[in-house]
Amino acid sequence: MKARTIALAAAFALSAALPALAADKVKIGYVTTLSKGPAAIGKQMQDAVELALDHLGKKMGGLPVEIVYADDEFDPEIGKLRSEELVKKDKVDFVSGFIWSNVLLQARQPIFKANTFLIGSNAGPHELAGKECSPWFFSTSWQNDQMPEAMGKYMTDAGIKRVYVLSPNYPAGRDMVAGFKRYYKGEIVGEILTPWPQHADWSAEFAKIRATEPKPEAVFVFYPGGAGINFVKQYAQAGLKDTIPLYNVFTTDSTTLKAQGDAALGLLSTMSWGADLQNDANKRFVADFKKKYGYIPSFYAAQAYDSIMLIASAVKAVNDKIEDKDAVRKALKASDFASVRGQVKFNNNHYPIENFYIQEVVKDADGTYDTRIKGTVFLAHADSYGAKECKMK
Amino acid sequence: MTALLLIEQTLNGLQLGVMLFLMSAGLTLVFGIMNLINLAHGSLFMVGAYCAALFLEWTGSFVLAALLALPATLLVGLIIEIVVLRTLYERDHLDQVLATSGLILFFNEALHLVGGAEALYLDLPPFLKGQVKIIPGSPYPLYRLVVIAVGLAVALGLYLLVTRTRTGMLIRAGASNRTMLSALGVNVRLLFTAVFGLGAMLAGLGGVMAGPIVSVQSGMGENVLILAFVVIVIGGIGSIRGAFIAALLIGLIDTMGRAFMADLMGLVMSHTAAQTAGPTIASMLIYLLMAGVLFFRPQGLFPPRGR
Amino acid sequence: MERIVTIAVLIALAAVPLLASVFDAPFYLDLFGRVMIYAIAAISLNLIMGYGGMVSFGHAAFLGLGGYAVGILAKEGIDSGFVQWPLAIGSCALFALLTGLVVLRTSGAYFIMITLAFAQMLFFLFTSLAEYGGDDGLTIWTRSDFAGLIDLNDGASFYYLIFALLLACLGISARLIDSRFGMVLRGAKANERRMQAIGFPTFRYKLAAYTISGAMCGLAGALLANQAEFVGPSVLHWSRSGEILVMVVLGGMGGVAGPVLGAATYLLLSYFLADLTKHWAIIMGPLLILVVLFARGGLLGLLSGRRAKTDAP
């Protein structure tokens, strides 16, 4: 015991004296939700990460890769504790993942303080895009506002004059509404923010929409996860789906479509990726994903896959010298990899500049529900916070 | 137009109310008679919805699935009563809280393993899908009317059971004085098991009926549980009548708050401020109501006599 | 027996920074620091629950209120801990005093639910405060500043500060319970009418206990916000109140050390089980049930041979 302690202490003293000790492997901490309600999303991300490792031959550059998965239990405090563990105990070189804005916002501090890169693969809060942007943060998803911005543009172009807006009353919800308004040029005839997350019944809101005069031509909503399942089912049950078309962001995706069933059929949403996006990287990703796991990947999976591929490209570009953080940052910023989202560059705040598409929910020949890309709304669309509020170059 | 809207919102409030009543009826009986705080009551709600979804996949018929889900929930309820809860009747409330919160953890994860991580699919059969023009000009979902009807029917049945039958007499006696009841030679253990089973089945029925409206997933019972506790406390613990009235009250107030609070506040403040503050006040409303009721009536609206 | 357990647990906690520095495992400072903060919250709940029979299902409200006091002041540019902490504790005491006037009119299950009601109102209030992060929560960029007296950014110093405050809270609660005040409180739990008949204004005693408890939990909130460098509405969610309640009952309400034991067991067990399997809840749930079925008086009761009564110190 004692001898071991001394040996350990000596080893650490030595490592402190030689800071540029070369890495013998790439260690990545992956934080996502693996238990409790939203575990379905976490599982998709985990599957995608494993597929990315298969495609990479479990190697990045010349180094073997080790992934440490951490479960945030859908609780910001646990997410923070686990992130702390990743950087302090497991001493990972990169942290990636994060589904939820509130978990990411609480967990980022210890990661940044440990000078560790954080590759967000879903949550895109405006804080990290604007005033609180960080040289240690990169995103392979989007900034929250970009999706409703695309929907606002699409609905304006489609000539829809009067829209009713529904969203949860929490920051991401309000961001969504703000983003929508930024690009929607018609009239917003009504706007309801519902309590979050306990709200599960929209009958009162539907009655108000129906009673609005003159009649709205469309309804725009943002209800992620379980709330989206409830909303879409109830919207169809209320008979509104056939009278007032429903447009959404983050409400119909492959994690919710099974439970929404026919109620979601034909609904339109915007996204920066689709399983039917035609590029070589994506074709390979989707085909292999379906083969390995037997289901269609969602955008959560695609973004998780991209986060691993982005890290791999950076490790390769710095010739395995991942301890040179500045070089790694430059390599990450170059975004020199075959993304499943096609051509992607980074804005000054390290959020992606990418294309946004309009997608429709369809039923495949074998009865499974899926989304199809109907058209492109934005080409190389940058978020609206980077240029304005982020001081990074 | 405003009058029509008001009628429609009243229906919505009723529907939420009867749903809450199904949850609270069992909870208030178990609490009132056995003196047991059962936090796992929400798990039974979830078990009901899960069973319905799984049986639907298996049988393909919604009605059959719903009918099978009820005895299945009853069975689960009886198993928990016999294995865990039976020994807890004489224990401290806090021991009951600890044990039944253990049950919540167990059930959430167990159903997660059985049903998979994703939310389950539970849709209505075509004959329940339509809308009814009950109010001129605004069609109302048929299924919600069915929920109201079933809920009211169950409430009537419970009322008759409690006031007109011998079992009901024992239940009432148990709610007002348990010790006396067992002293009179009633098989209290059997009565307890029966009451618990009944409560479990009602919670299961609530889950089955909520299934097509909300998403069927692990943890779905917890928010309903909190609301059900609010209901039974406002109604007076042990009182079916109190639970019924409080459930409707909560259903109506919650719905009305959500529907009109933001507009109401828009009269006295700016539109944006009202849009933000409205939902906040609306969510607080039922808790304000509970605090208010308990301030003036610390035993709830209808405390059972004799205690 | 209880004394031995208490001392053993405290020595173990005191040794954590030493072991963490020897094995270069600073993470354990965060893990055990969090355990001790929740232990303080549990001690504060035990004070009213174990000795006064007041079962609060809304104690996380104080955790959140204390945390938000620190967070909001920090956001407004007031970093001094000498301002932040007294305000955190004071606002919690005030909140407890005012709500206590209402909640103490009820008892039993009604008390449980009305404490929940006030916590829920606070939860919705903070969720809607867009200015201070709303549902996203509020990042605290600088930890409380104590003018060079102690540096909270140093892991070990912060840890020992939490440890010292834990000892202080243990001491305060032990002293309170053995005082005349504590006797009245326990008497009121056993038979409130008799205590009133003897001439004790039990309401005032209970209100004082409730206020002290709230203030102590507010301190835990200030510590938690500093440790997390963050405060958000999830801190005052009702499930958090439930967790604190479970910690107290699990540890055993028989003595002052029960809550510490309960907090440590609950948090560490769920932490290490989660390391083992993502389905940890399916093990944790039955474990809690087994403790209830086979250990009267919680873990403390188990350790001291089931003799612990809910009332004796």
* Any C CB within 8 A of B296 CB: no
- Could you say which residues from 151 to 210 on chain B have a Cβ atom under 8 Å away from some Cβ of chain A? none
Which residue did the predictor score with more confidence, A17 or A249? A249
Q: What is the largest distance, in Å, between two alpha-carbon atoms of chain A?
A: 82
Residues of chain A neighbouring C274 (CB-CB closer than 8 A)? 35, 71, 73
Maximum average pLDDT range among A30-44, A82-96, B262-276: A82-96
Segment C64-71 shows an average pLDDT of 96
| Nearest residue, CB atoms, C281 vs list B96, B109, B288 | B109
Give the pLDDT of residue A16. Answer: 44
A168 vs B118, higher pLDDT: A168
pLDDT at C190: 86
User: What tens digit of pLDDT does each residue of C240-274 get?
Assistant: 999 999 999 999 886 788 899 999 999 999 899 98
Closest among A278, A289, A283 to A54, alpha carbons compared = A289
Cβ pair B120:A259 closer than 8 A: yes
Q: A178 CA to chain C: closest CA distance, Å? A: 14
Do A114 and A33 sit in the same domain of this protein?
yes
Quick one: average pLDDT of C79-88?
95
Query: Is residue B12 within 8 Å of A204, Cβ to Cβ?
Result: yes
Q: C31-48 pLDDT, tens per residue?
A: 999 999 999 999 999 999
Q: pLDDT tens-digit profile of B74-119? A: 999 999 999 999 888 888 888 898 899 999 999 999 998 888 877 8
Q: Do the beta carbons of residue B211 and residue B53 sit within 8 Å? A: yes
CB C61 within 8 A of CB C95: yes
| Helix (H), strand (E) at residue C189 | helix C180-190
Nearest Cα residue in chain B from C278? B109
Burial class (CB in 10 A: 0-12, 13-18, 19+), A276: middle
Measured in whole angstroms, the distance separating CA B176 from the mean position of its chain's CA atoms is 22
Q: B237 lies in a domain?
A: yes
Say yes or no to pLDDT of A8 above 50: no
Smallest CA–CA distance, residue A9 to chain C, in Å, is 7
Minimum distance, in Å, between the CA of residue B279 and any CA atom of chain A: 6
Chains contacting chain A through 3 or more C-beta pairs under 8 A = B, C
Q: How far is A46 from B117, CA to CA, in rounded Å?
A: 13
> How many Å apart are CA A190 and CA C277, to the nearest integer?
47
Q: What is the mean pLDDT of chain B?
A: 88
Which band of pLDDT confidence, cut at 50, 70 and 90, is reported for residue A197? low
Give B183 or B145, the one with higher predicted confidence: B145
For C54-64, write each residue's pLDDT tens digit. 999 999 999 99
Say if A288 is an interface residue toward chain C (CB within 8 Å).
Answer: no
Question: In this predicted structure, what is the pLDDT of residue A12?
Answer: 46
In a domain, B306, yes or no: no
- Inside any domain, residue A4: no
* Chains A & B: contacts with CB separation below 8 Å: 122
Q: Verify that A87 and A134 share a domain, yes or no.
A: yes
The alpha carbon of B134 is separated from its chain's Cα centroid by a whole number of angstroms, namely 26
Would an 8 Å CB–CB cutoff place A213 in contact with chain B? yes
pLDDT score, position A173: 84
Our CA-based measurement puts residue A369 at a distance from the nearest CA of chain C, in whole angstroms, of: 28
pLDDT tops 70 at residue A15: no
Task: Tell me how far apart the alpha carbons of residues A221 and A232 are, in angstroms, rounded to a whole number.
Answer: 10
The residue segments making up the domain with residue B61 are 2-296
Q: The domain spanning residue A195 has which CATH number?
A: 3.40.50.2300
Q: Confirm whether A387 is domain-assigned.
A: no
**Binary contact (C136, A132; C-beta < 8 A):** no
Using CB atoms, list chains with 3+ pairs below 8 Å to chain C: A, B
Interface of B with A in 115-134 (CB under 8 A): 116-124, 129-131
Asked if the C-beta of B284 comes within 8 angstroms of chain A's C-beta atoms, the answer is no
B120: chain A residues, CB-CB within 8 Å: 259
B121/A262 CB distance under 8 A? no
What pLDDT is attached to residue A87? 94
pLDDT at C11: 92
Contact residues of C toward A, CB < 8 A: 22-28, 30-31, 34, 124, 127-128, 130, 133-137, 139, 228-230, 232, 234-235, 271, 274, 278-281
How many domains does the structure of chain A reveal? 2
> Quick one: A121 and A52 in the same domain?
yes
Ranges B40-54, B122-136, C100-114: which has the least confidence: B122-136
The dihedral built from the CA positions of residue C161, C162, C165 and C170, taken in this order, carries a sign that is negative
Pairing mode, if any, of strands A59-60 and A63-71? antiparallel
| DSSP letters spanning A52-67 | HHHHHTTEETTEEEEE
The reported pLDDT for the residue numbered A322 is: 93
Band of residue A10 on the pLDDT scale cut at 50, 70, 90: very low
By C-alpha distance, the chain B residue nearest C250 is B98
Q: What is the pLDDT of residues A256-311, one digit of tens each?
A: 898 898 999 999 999 999 999 999 999 999 999 999 999 889 999 999 999 999 99
Compute the average pLDDT of residues C20-34: 89
pLDDT of residue A1: 39
Q: Given this model, what pLDDT does residue C213 score?
A: 96
What is the Cα–Cα distance from B248 to A125, expressed in whole angstroms? 40
Contact yes or no for C52/C238 (Cβ under 8 A): no
pLDDT for res B138:
72
Residues of the domain holding A164: 146-271+357-380
How many of the other CB atoms lie within 10 Å of CB of B288?
Answer: 16
A320 with A234, same domain? no
- Report the pLDDT value the prediction gives residue A200, as an integer from 0 to 100: 79
Q: Looking at the partner chain, which of A35, A102, A127 has a beta carbon nearest the beta carbon of C135?
A: A102
Question: Residue A51: inside a domain, yes or no?
Answer: yes
Same domain, yes or no: A49 and A159: no
Of the candidates C108, C130, C286, the beta carbon closest to that of B106 is on C286
| Six-digit token string for B102 | 């253990």
Q: For residue B119, is it within any domain?
A: yes
**Chain-centroid distance, C-alpha C199:** 32
- For C164-170, what is the mean pLDDT? 96
pTM for this predicted structure: 0.87
Q: Give the mutation candidate from B27, B93, B109, B239 for the C interface (greatest C CB count, under 10 A).
A: B109
Determine the Cα–Cα distance for residues C49 and C14; give it in Å rounded to an integer.
27
Does A331 lie in the same domain as A186?
no
Residue B306 reports pLDDT greater than 70: no
| Chain C residues lying within 8 Å of A170, measured CB to CB | 127, 134-136
For C215-237, the pLDDT digits (tens) are 999 999 999 999 999 999 989 99
Same domain, A98 and A173: no
> Given this model, what pLDDT does residue B86 score?
87
Q: Is the peptide bond before A297 cis (omega within 30 degrees of 0)?
A: no
Contact: C228, A80; criterion CB under 8 Å: yes
6-65 of B, contacting A, C-beta below 8 A = 8-9, 12, 15-16
Tell me the per-residue pLDDT of B243-253, one tens digit each, with 9 for 90 and over.
999 999 999 99
In terms of domains, do A122 and A45 share one?
yes
pLDDT value for C310: 44
The C-alpha atoms of residue B206 and residue B192 are separated, in whole angstroms, by 21
A3 pLDDT band (50/70/90 cuts)? Answer: very low
In this complex, the residue of C106, C279, C286 whose CB is nearest that of residue B298 is C106
Q: How far is B220 from chain A (nearest CA, A)?
A: 8
Q: Which residue in the set C23, C28, C228 is minimally distant from A106, CB to CB?
A: C228
State the complex-level ipTM. Answer: 0.85
Q: How many CB atoms lie within 10 A of CB A205?
A: 24
Determine contact: A4 vs chain C, CB below 8 A.
Answer: no
Q: What is the DSSP string of A234-287?
A: HHHHTT-TTTS-EEEESSSSTTTHHHHGGGGTT-EEEES--TT--SHHHHHHHH
Spatial contact of A33 and A102, defined as CB atoms under 8 Å apart: no
Asked if C197 has any chain B CB less than 8 Å from its own CB, the reply is: no
Closest CA to A95 of A44, A26, A144: A26
Residues of chain B numbered 111-150 and touching chain C (CB < 8 Å):
112-113
CATH number at residue B239: 1.10.3470
Tell me the residues of chain A between 5 and 64 that have a Cβ less than 8 Å away from chain B: 35-37, 39-40, 42-43
Total domain count, chain B: 1
Q: CA-nearest residue of chain A to C137?
A: A102
In sequence order, what are the residues at sequence separation of 6 or more whose Cβ sits closer than 8 angstroms to the Cβ of residue A143? A124, A126, A129, A351, A383, A384, A385
Q: Which residue has the tokens 């609905």?
A: A155
Q: What residues of chain A, 180 to 209, have a C-beta less than 8 Å from chain B?
A: 191-195, 198-201, 203-205, 207-208
Residues A361 and A228 grouped into a single domain: yes
Mean pLDDT is highest, among B188-192, B205-209, C51-55, for: B205-209
CATH code of the region C2-303: 1.10.3470
Chains in contact with B, where contact means 3 or more Cβ–Cβ distances below 8 Å, are: A, C
Count other Cβ atoms within 10 Å, centred on residue B7: 15
Q: Do residues A44 and A126 share a domain?
A: yes
From the list B172, B162, B170, the residue with the least C-alpha distance to B189 is: B170
Same domain, A318 and A215: no
Nearest by Cα to C104 from C93, C115, C116, C118: C115
